[in-house]
Chains A and B, each alone.
Chain A
Amino acid sequence: MTMILRSLRAVNYILEILASILSSTIAAVMVLALTLSAITRYVSGTGYDWFIELPPALVPWLVFPLLGPLLRSGAHIQVDLAPNFLSGKKLLLLQTFVFTVMLIGAVMFFIAGNEAVALFRRLGQLMELEIELPIWWMYLAFPTGFAILILFSLELLLETLAKLLAPTPTEEAR
């Protein structure tokens, strides 16, 4: 298990950096595109569709790849009721449950997302931008994000299980 966990950590470390770079770049592009949209419309009287329509099309690529890293840092919104009343092994059991649900959910949405992307690819729909982009490029963010979430959920699940199965100090002393 240690070997798998170590490999997962290494892969997820790289994925986290890539997801952060991608999402920060998209945030910067959104700011610049909409500022330019306002400027060009003010200067020339007509705006460019690209500046207006590109930011919404990029949103899925900002959001979904970060699902995994946000899970690891505990940044997702959740009802923090149960963890307040639990500690030690009970808390670890709760975390095991949460990460298992996240893993199952991520696998389900990864499969569903893949099927949806395949469908949109077959349909050959294009985005309504000045330069036509296949619409499935946008939808691809969904399975990609959930694939990353699978890896992060798995890492967190294995980590929690390792802690859960590790001998307690009293057991070690014996």
Chain B
Amino acid sequence: MKTLAIAVSLVFLVLSVPIFMVFGLGSAVVAIWDLNLPESTLIQVSFGSMTKHVLIAVPLFIFAGMVMLRGGAAARLVHFATTLVGHWPGGLGIAMILAMGFFAAFCGSILAAITAVGTIMIPQMVRQGYPKPFVIVLAASAAFLEALIPPSNAAILFSALTDVPVSRTFAAGFVPGFVLIILLGIVVTWKCRHLKNPVKATVGERLTAFRTAIPGLFTPIIILGGIYAGLLTPSESAAVAGIWAILIGVLIYRELTFQGILKALHETARITAVIFAIIAMATFLSVVLTYSQAPQKIITYFTEMGGTPLTFWLSVAVICLILGTFVEIVPVFYLTVPIFAVLALSLDQDILHLYVVFVAFAGIGMITPPVCVGVYTAAGVAKESPEKAFREVPLFVGVGIIFGLLMIFFPAAATWLPELLN
């Protein structure tokens, strides 16, 4: 029965059945008919997972990002980043990376971040002579910083799955996020070194840009300061960030309307429903895995095969790279992390190290065809055919793999800051 369910689920997956239904049907069939579990148990466990308090931060961060997008904060952040580094070789590209890293972190939606920052930066970069295909893949790659730089929704999902405090997972993403910014920055600088740069902004222009961006720049301070000072829970900090975003959009930038807030709420609800539908149904899968003792069997098999920490990390890398190519990161989380986490602990590996390595390799899928929503979205913003952008993909996949390998061989990148903050 299990083999049949897995085979049918794979067929459904390839034939574009929504993933929440694939998870739900495949797992429910095995749970009810093979493991004789009552439906009420499945539904009870599913509700238990989706109503975890830590997960409430996800829609609230999405809301804060949506309000900042509509309230004018995103545009000012992009302008500030441009005045800061725009005149460097490849400066506009670096400005886009910085703005994307900053905005994507609490936007909650990588696609919304690409649209927000890309709409402003991509035309500007193309006018300056940056090759369109390169800009498109760069935007998609930079948006992937969302999964690392706190407050990141990927960190919240990982915490919900592994019961690691969110404050520790947030901290684990800091250093790797900066490493990725540096790597992408090096690529842009090298690739666009021959391009004419915009005129260097004067000190006055920079100060003005900084002054107007201050309210937006203050948002992460509220979020992370509140959490690490012990004043706010992650969910409360996300809610306060949302209210702060409304206040600056209405009172300071005066660009946020009541309609804008309603649209932000509507978008928040839709994105949340997409993510939480997968969480609800993927929990069926974790019930099946638990009752069938799959993780224990995999650990035994792995140990008998003489598995070492290195082979474990390389297996994580390959599996995440393959799955990430075809499936988005949220389903991959729920499909693999429960097993990876048990294996990592059995091999005495740090669970935060797993978070970073997992995200590094699964995130490469954002830019690899055929399922590369990041590239499709950025191509839409740039009004360019995605196929033309694909020729730039290998370069960024290479960067992603180098980044992932760095994370495998230097676990301190993930564990140093959480230990320090402890």
Could you tell me which A residues sit within 8 Å of B by CB distance?
20, 23-24, 26-28, 30-35, 37-38, 42, 52, 55-57, 59-60, 62-64, 66-67, 70-71, 75-84, 94, 97-98, 101-102, 105, 108-109, 112-113, 115-116, 119-120, 138-139, 142
Given contacts A34-B236, A80-B370, A84-B370, is CB(A63)–CB(B231) below 8 Å? no
Contact of A77 with B274 in the complex, beta carbons under 8 Å: yes
Contact of B371 with A79 in the complex, beta carbons under 8 Å: yes
Report the separation of the CA atoms of residues A79 and B43 in the bound assembly, to the nearest whole angstrom.
Answer: 25
Shortest B137–chain A CB gap in Å is 18
Additional 4 contacts, C-beta under 8 A, given A27-B268, A70-B273, A101-B17? A56-B53, A56-B56, A81-B371, A109-B24
Cβ-neighbour of A24 out of B266, B274, B276 (below 8 A): B266
Shortest A82–chain B CB gap in Å is 5
Contact of A35 with B239 in the complex, beta carbons under 8 Å: yes
Report the separation of the CA atoms of residues A115 and B40 in the bound assembly, to the nearest whole angstrom.
Answer: 7
Given contacts A20-B266, A27-B269, is CB(A115)–CB(B39) below 8 Å? yes
The answer to the question of B52 belonging to the interface, with a C-beta cut-off of 8 Å to chain A, is: yes
User: Which of chain B's residues have a CB closer than 8 A to the CB of A30?
Assistant: 56, 59-60, 239
Contact of B43 with A116 in the complex, beta carbons under 8 Å: yes
The answer to the question of B312 belonging to the interface, with a C-beta cut-off of 8 Å to chain A, is: no
Contact of B44 with A112 in the complex, beta carbons under 8 Å: no
The answer to the question of B18 belonging to the interface, with a C-beta cut-off of 8 Å to chain A, is: yes
Given contacts A30-B239, A77-B274, is CB(A113)–CB(B43) below 8 Å? yes
Given contacts A34-B60, A76-B18, A98-B17, is CB(A108)–CB(B330) below 8 Å? no
The answer to the question of B12 belonging to the interface, with a C-beta cut-off of 8 Å to chain A, is: yes
Contact of A38 with B18 in the complex, beta carbons under 8 Å: no
Given contacts A37-B236, A56-B51, A112-B39, is CB(A63)–CB(B276) below 8 Å? yes
Contact of A27 with B235 in the complex, beta carbons under 8 Å: no
Q: Which residue of B lies closest to A146 (CB)?
A: B24
Contact of B16 with A120 in the complex, beta carbons under 8 Å: no
Report the separation of the CA atoms of residues A70 and B268 in the bound assembly, to the nearest whole angstrom.
Answer: 13
Contact of A78 with B242 in the complex, beta carbons under 8 Å: no
Given contacts A28-B265, A34-B60, is CB(A70)–CB(B274) below 8 Å? yes
Shortest A160–chain B CB gap in Å is 13
Report the separation of the CA atoms of residues A84 and B372 in the bound assembly, to the nearest whole angstrom.
Answer: 12
User: Which of chain B's residues have a CB closer than 8 A to the CB of A60?
Assistant: 47, 50-51, 280
Given contacts A81-B14, A116-B40, is CB(A62)–CB(B272) below 8 Å? yes
Contact of A27 with B239 in the complex, beta carbons under 8 Å: no
User: Which of chain B's residues have a CB closer than 8 A to the CB of A105?
Assistant: 21, 24-25
Shortest B55–chain A CB gap in Å is 8
Shortest B61–chain A CB gap in Å is 11
From residue 238 to 273 of chain B, which have CB atoms closer than 8 A to chain A?
238-240, 242-243, 262, 265-266, 268-270, 272-273
User: Which of chain B's residues have a CB closer than 8 A to the CB of A31?
Assistant: 60, 63, 239, 242-243
Given contacts A59-B276, A105-B25, is CB(A78)–CB(B47) below 8 Å? no
Report the separation of the CA atoms of residues A35 and B243 in the bound assembly, to the nearest whole angstrom.
Answer: 8
Q: Which residue of B lies closest to A83 (CB)?
A: B16
The answer to the question of B338 belonging to the interface, with a C-beta cut-off of 8 Å to chain A, is: no
The answer to the question of B97 belonging to the interface, with a C-beta cut-off of 8 Å to chain A, is: no
Contact of B43 with A139 in the complex, beta carbons under 8 Å: yes
User: Which of chain B's residues have a CB closer than 8 A to the CB of A24?
Assistant: 262, 265-266, 268-269
Contact of A119 with B15 in the complex, beta carbons under 8 Å: no
User: Which of chain B's residues have a CB closer than 8 A to the CB of A112?
Assistant: 28, 39, 42-43
Interface string of B210-248 (1 = CB under 8 A from A): 000000000000000010000110011111101100000
The answer to the question of B88 belonging to the interface, with a C-beta cut-off of 8 Å to chain A, is: no
User: Which of chain A's residues have a CB closer than 8 A to the CB of B272?
Assistant: 23, 27, 62-63
Contact of B273 with A77 in the complex, beta carbons under 8 Å: no
Contact of A63 with B21 in the complex, beta carbons under 8 Å: no
Select the residue from A32, A98, A116, A120 with max chain B CB neighbours within 10 A.
A116
Cβ-neighbour of B56 out of A55, A75, A79, A81 (below 8 A): A55
User: Which of chain A's residues have a CB closer than 8 A to the CB of B56?
Assistant: 30, 34, 55-56, 59
Report the separation of the CA atoms of residues A95 and B247 in the bound assembly, to the nearest whole angstrom.
Answer: 44
User: Which of chain B's residues have a CB closer than 8 A to the CB of A52?
Assistant: 53
Select the residue from B270, B327, B331 with max chain A CB neighbours within 10 A.
B270
